Every structure is written in structure tokens, then in C-alpha cells.
Structure 1
Amino acid sequence: MSKIDQSEKYINEKQLCFSCKNKAVSFEKLMYKELQEISEHKVHLQFRKGETIAKQGAFITHVLYLKKGQVKVYNEVDYRSNLIFSIHQSGKLLGLASLYGNDHFQYSIAALEDSLICAIDRKVVEKLIARNGSFAAKVLESVNMDLQLCRDKMVSLTMKQLNGRLADTLLYLSYDVYDKDEFELTLSRKDLAEMSGMSTMSVVRTLQEFQKEGYIENENHTVKIKNKKALHDLSQTG
């Protein structure tokens, strides 16, 4: 059975939100009838690696829940380059910052691996936020985390040199994305460049320098952080 066939079987078994064992943390605050309401106003979508999930400038009609997979959230600066804000694993609600006001996506979302998305009617989510204070608090917590990530990104890109920027990216991947010091890197060198505000050539050169200094090992798309303190020092000194 192929990966996509397995995904279809998974979807068919988990149609109802209240029976789903992989709900968003904020959805744990919803009552049975509220989860039933979401179940009646959502669709399941499958995306293959590399596919665009949401397009910058498109109308926002749904909040997106990443049920399975990995995605990148990025701004399309021009036709040649992007700026990647964040990488997300399964369990993340996407598009929350666009609720209550924005009619268009301010960024794009693309799949870094085969992914499953629950697309939930935006108006239903907004109504539940208005009715359920505990749910609203969890949604706000998620929005605040994303906002802090953007602030940290701004500091990194505007105040730090190349070594500090790439150190920030590697630490972010270790702490926030993969939650370990050795991980299979699903991002391309171009993705790393777009996360760090660098050229692809600069990323390749800086990775080689980090490996030469013994900060990391980087072989066969696997990165192992060997000296996290050194990366923290680079992040602090810029």
C-alpha cells in the first residue's frame, strides 16, 4: 500500500473531530456539540511534497489544521526569492492570524512532505472563539507564539551576521521543529537560505565552516549538532 493510500485509509477512519486522537490542543477545550459543528463544516485535503497548500493573496475561507506532515510558512518577496517564517509539524493550526479582518492570506504555505490538512470553515471557528473563552485563550496563545517567532526572526535578520543567522536557524530546527539534536533535514539548501536571509552559496559555505569547527555533522541529509553551546554563542554575538 502506497503512502497516499495509507493516508486515505487514515482519513476515512477519522472523519469526526470528537473521535479524532490527533486534535489540535485548542480543540481539547471544545464541547462535544462544538466538535460536531466543526465536523460538519470541514473537508480533508491531501498534499504531496512540494505542493502549495495556501497561496499568498488568495481569499481566506478556511482555517487549516495540519493533521499529518510538515509544512513551511513563507512570504513571497518577489518572483525570485521567498522568506520562510516558520516550519510546522503535525498538530498545528494555520491561518489563525488572518481571522477577524483579513480577507486574504498574507503568506503562502507549502508541504515539505506528504501532508494531510483539515480545512475548517473560517466563520465556524470565529463563532466558537466568541462563544468559548477557553478555546479562545488557546487560539490566542498560538497566535502569540507565532508573533514572537516573527519578532525573533526580525532581530536575527536585521541585527546578526551570516554565522549568527544560520546558528539561529539550526537551533530553531533543533528545539522547535524536530525536538532533538540529530535530525533528517527535510529542507533544501535553498530553504535554509530563505529561512536565514542568506544566499544558497553562503549557506553551503557556512555549513562547511560549522562542520570544520566541529559544531555540527552534516552528511546524507542528516544534521547532528555536536556543540550546541557554540551555536548559542554565535547566536548571541551575531
Structure 2
Amino acid sequence: MNTSQATKCAECKEKSLCFKQLNEDELNLTNVNKVQIQFKKGEIISKQGSFVTHIMYLKNGFAKVYKETDLDHNLILDIIPEGKLIGLTSLYNNDNIARFSVAALENSTVCSIDRNTIEKLIQQNSQFAKTVISSLNEESLQFYDKMASLTQKQMNGRVADALIYLSESILKSPKFKMILSRKDLADFTGMSMMSVVRTLKDLKAEGIIEDEKGFIEIKNKTFLKQISQKG
């Protein structure tokens, strides 16, 4: 983890939709209350149980949000692509303890913004507040879908859901570099690593996916979605 020279918020070409709603004064306020940090692959961005003093903006890279457990595995709650805010659930919450951990899935750049600054911007800029609420809604819907997948579907359905989510929502391509290790994919689907490996092998043997040299390609999305729907 290293701090780096940050572009001024007003000049940044990697602003998310919510920050595009801010005027120059509001962008300057954000700029003086943030620090830009470089994280290497695997580094912890935020630790479960620590105090939440900042909201994180993932400027580039990918991160995983996960719940640490007393078992020999964690539960990955979501995969975060660049351009997303992390930690919004801590806003206006008197219990300012992080309920999950965040780690970089690849070398990533994070802008850590003072939480009070974000709350002030929400209060004074309705369009900014609207986009923040929209982000929280997306997180909630993803969480509901994930809980349904984990509790109602068999192994094939869970892996199908994960691959479709990565392809359509995170990496936005039918062929993508697999940013999750087999262990991560197991933690994301609530399965053992051996079960994940076996399921991927079966999907490949059936011609539904291609899995070569760190890349996944969905060859038959219609069939993969049928597996997802049938669970």
C-alpha cells in the first residue's frame, strides 16, 4: 500500500456518475478531504472490525467485499469494479464499525474520502444523493439475488450465477480474464474449492464454457442461463 500523487477531483477523467453531479466548489471540498492510495493485488483495503472513517472510491482495479468467519473460509459478498463507492452502508450510522473486509483482486487505486464530507455532499446536493441511493439500491438487489442463489440452488446453479454475474455486471464481456482464484470462486458461491473445480470442468466438457490460461469464455449463454434458472 502506497499513497500516490492524486489528480485533482475537478480534473479527474475517472469520475463516477455521482461525482459528475458535483459543482466545482464541491469537487474542491472532496479534493482536500481525500487521499489516493495504491494497493497491490491481495492487499487489504479495509478490515472487518475496524473504525469506518472514510468512504472509498475504487478509481481503477477490482476488489472483493467479504465477510470473515471463524471457519476455514470466508464468504465473498460482492465483487467491486472500478468506478464504485465502497462503504456506503456506514453513512449516518452511529455504529461506525466495518461489518466486512475489502481486498484488492488486482493492483488497484483507491481514493479514500472523509465520511463526513460525503455526508455533507449528500445533504446539500440532491442529485449526488440520488446517485448514492441508486448505488445502495443496486447493492441491495445484488445481495438479495446472492442470498437466493446460496440458499435455493445446487452447485451448478451457483457457479452459473457467478459466471453470468462476472460476465454481465462486472467484466461486461462473454470472454474475460478470471479475476477470482478458484478459492475466491468457492468463497463467492459458498462451495468447497474441489466442488468449484469439478463444476467448471463439467461445464467445459459440455461445451458451455471455455476455461484456458486464466480466461473464461461463455460459449453457450442460453444453456448457462437455463442452468441458473433451474438451480
Secondary structure of the structure 1 residue equivalent to 2:18: helix
What does residue range 147-166 of structure 1 map to in structure 2 within 5 Å? Answer: 147-166=140-159
Whether 1:206 and 2:206 are equivalent positions in the alignment is no
Q: Alignment partner for residue 120 of structure 1, among 86, 91, 113?
A: 113
Look up the equivalent residue of 2:228 and give its one-letter code: S
**2:70 & 2:27 partners in 1: Cα distance?**
40
Cα distance per residue 1:180-230 (max 9 Å; x no partner):
011111210001111111100000000010011110010111111001011
Look up the equivalent residue of 1:197 and give its one-letter code: G
Partner of 2:67: 75
Partner of 1:192: 185
Structure 2: gaps of 5 or more residues:
none
Look up the equivalent residue of 1:157 and give its one-letter code: L
Partner of 1:92: 84
Runs of at least 4 residues of structure 1 off by over 3 A?
A: none
Partner of 1:61: 53
Secondary structure of the structure 1 residue equivalent to 2:99: coil
1:79: Cα distance to partner? Answer: 4.7
**2:121 & 2:12 partners in 1: Cα distance?**
19
**1:215 & 1:27 partners in 2: Cα distance?**
40
Aligned positions, number: 230
1:61: Cα distance to partner? Answer: 0.3
**1:192 & 1:79 partners in 2: Cα distance?**
17
- TM-score norm. by structure 2 comes to 0.96
Q: Alignment partner for residue 45 of structure 1, among 37, 43, 47?
A: 37
Percent of aligned positions that are identical: 48
Whether 1:17 and 2:9 are equivalent positions in the alignment is yes
Whether 1:105 and 2:77 are equivalent positions in the alignment is no
- TM-score norm. by structure 1 comes to 0.94
Partner of 2:227: 234
